[in-house]
Chain A
Amino acid sequence: MLLLAPVDVLNDLLLRFFSDETVKYFIWPLIQIGLVVTLVALWVAYATYLERKISAFIQARLGPMRVGPWGLLQPIADGLKLLTKEDFIPEKADRWIFFFAPYIAVASAFIVFSVIPFGPDWAVIADVNIGLLLVLAVSSVGVLALILAGWSSNSKYALLGGLRSSAQMVSYEVAMGLSLIGALMFARTLSLSGIVGAQGSDSIWYILYQPAGFLMFLISGIAENNRAPFDLPEAESELVAGFHTEYSGMRWSLFFMAEYAAMVVVTAVATTVYLGGWYFPFVYRLEESGYHNLYVLVSVLVFLVKASIILYIYFWLRWTLPRFRYDQLMDIGWKWLIPSALINIVLSAFAVFVLQALNGWRGIQTIEGLDRGMNLTATGKGIMIAFGLAGLFITGVLLARINWRSRDFNLKTQRRNIRLVNVPKGKPARA
């Protein structure tokens, strides 16, 4: 493959100057990190372009058209404009925290890309045992940036935005983590490359086993990113711009970049865990025919296309749905998403138990092997997909039943209607 020979040529060239170990453990990872940061920054820049274009098409407009053909150079023009703008710090602001908050936001969004498998072989920077945990942990640090930005600005709108964001992100983080557990039962590892490998070796996407889990992850991911319809921390019509009201110039654009990078992170994780990552049917034939580098490149392309489709859903939802009210937001998080994630865990565990119980019963074979995730036979897959679809239905019915008139079942009604035998009624504290 002439087109991709440079990778090997560069490797040979590096080996001439450095030792084998330095090249393998230090220089190549640095090149990978540089490439990923550049590409993600570009992706983020063009995500803003796409957002404007898609919103324009949804509202029957044309969107940016002036800079370059179809406005393609608009993100670059925007970036240059923001760089040259005045970077204003309010007089009563806490200067240091005001200064650092945007960097925390960007860092927490970009660090996650170190463990995301964009493809096989050299398209992975690091493959660690706690991959998915690291993604959740680092992206949960992002909320700190919003709170600190909101507090340090010393402005009422910013403070309200910061408070809202902390309450929202802390509640949706729980649902996000819990919704992934179902898929992990089949992958049997937290390593993101391991999860892709498990789906590849089983020739299945986990969205088929876990449609409910995928939906929950996507909803809590959108809420975690503070995107419309969950964009209460920056609700324009109530809070001006929420936590970044007082920010301007480059620091403001850092927040913007962090928001889009965090969106890309959620889409990348959703792709990896539920849509098979870089794995796609028949692409491995390229590897078999000896085009290794082309195979890696096509896999990366597959990954990007899958992630972009989910990113499109983000834009689509933002421009077609109105913002939730605050009590609705908390209701969705605590009364719907967290219980449904718990139900999903129980149902998935039950499904796995049924598979294991059926295996070997009257000659039925369901499980092929457990060394690379849970490999199922065609029968096993059929049972799992049926369980997945039934799970959607069961979760929906159960939750509708639990939340049926949940507003009437509050503290007051419990105090008045539930009478425990021989237990004195509780009195509230005096103050």
Chain B
Amino acid sequence: MVLSGYEALFFWIFALAAIFAALLTVMARNAVHSALFLISSLVSVAALFVLSGAEFIAGVQILVYVGGVMVLFLFVIMLVNVGAEEMGREEIFNKQKQVTASLIFCLLLVGGVLYAVSQGYPALQAAQTNKRTPEKMAADQAERDRSLAVGATGTSRITADTELVGGSLYRYASLPFEIASVLLLVAIIGSVMLARTLKQEVSADDVDPETLQEELALDPELAKLEPRVE
């Protein structure tokens, strides 16, 4: 996909915004500020999806990540006490092991991207010199656009991405889709079960009587937590 004009301008704006927001996510002292910068980064990436013609992914990104996941992140952050880091007394970048590890991974990532680009660029060049000139590509794009339905405003056309995503997801990938949803369900139930401790269960009278007797033999303190029967 060749970006030009306003598209290129917006690409650079959102790409830089995504990178700087991601950087600030790591560098902010306050956990809530970090979460906010992460949200900005996610929104910028959604804008990049729109620019590359994947509106559906962009919509889902905002709906799921910004509207769902990040809200729960904030929910958790607000309930957790954040200590010295927030007050600004402690240095953030003084832990050498962590900083070194992240730098190594950063270098690996940059190397990987550079390698992929240098591998892909000659092929792109060859393809363009052979048959896919920018004019040809623009003509192809215009041809594809003409086949799409005209929108209600009369000036734009309605893309068919969402239908394509839905069709291929349910026709060719329905089994992986179902497996993924079952996995998520198991994860939800598992996390609920893991998060409840014995003390909480005893105080909510949720423990099996036999198990409770066994546990009481180990830890007599638990008897204090037992709810009184009225």
Contacts and interface: CB of A to CB of B under 8 A. Distances in A.
Interface of A: 24-25, 94, 97, 117, 120-122, 124-130, 133-134, 136-138, 140-141, 143-144, 147-148, 151-152, 159, 162-163, 166-167, 169-170, 173, 177, 189-191, 193-194, 197, 411-412, 415-416, 425-431
B161 A129 contact: yes
Interface residues of B, number: 48
Contacts of A97: 32-33, 36
A138 B62 CA distance: 7
Contacts of A162: 78
Contact of A133 (B56, B159, B199, B207): B56
Given A25-B155, A124-B153, A428 B201 contact: yes
Main secondary structure of the interface of B (DSSP, over half): helix
B210 to A, nearest CB: 8
From B33, B66, B158, B205, residue with most partner A Cβ within 10 Å? B158
A242 to B, nearest CB: 15
Given A24-B155, A120-B152, A428-B196, A130 B68 contact: no
B78 A151 contact: yes
Given A127-B158, A425-B211, A429-B198, A147 B63 contact: no
Interface stretch (B69-77, B100-108, B119-127): B69-77
- Can you list the 6 inter-chain pairs with the closest CB atoms, starting with the nearest? A140-B67, A193-B152, A431-B197, A127-B151, A133-B59, A137-B63
Nearest to A194: B158
Contacts of B78: 147, 151, 159, 162-163
B159 A151 contact: no
A49 B216 CA distance: 63
Interface of B: 30, 32-33, 36, 39, 55-56, 58-60, 62-63, 66-68, 70-72, 74-75, 78-79, 151-156, 158-162, 193-194, 196-199, 201, 205-211, 215
B69 to A, nearest CB: 10
Contacts of B209: 416
Contacts of B36: 97, 148
A144 B155 contact: no
B198 A144 contact: no
B71 A144 contact: yes
A428 B63 contact: no
Nearest to A121: B154
Contacts of B62: 137-138, 140-141
Contacts of A134: 59
Contacts of B39: 144
Contact of B153 (A125, A189, A429): A125
26 contacts: A120-B152, A121-B152, A125-B153, A127-B156, A128-B55, A128-B151, A129-B56, A129-B160, A129-B161, A130-B55, A130-B58, A130-B162, A133-B63, A137-B66, A140-B63, A140-B67, A147-B71, A173-B67, A190-B162, A191-B152, A193-B152, A411-B206, A416-B208, A427-B211, A430-B197, A431-B197
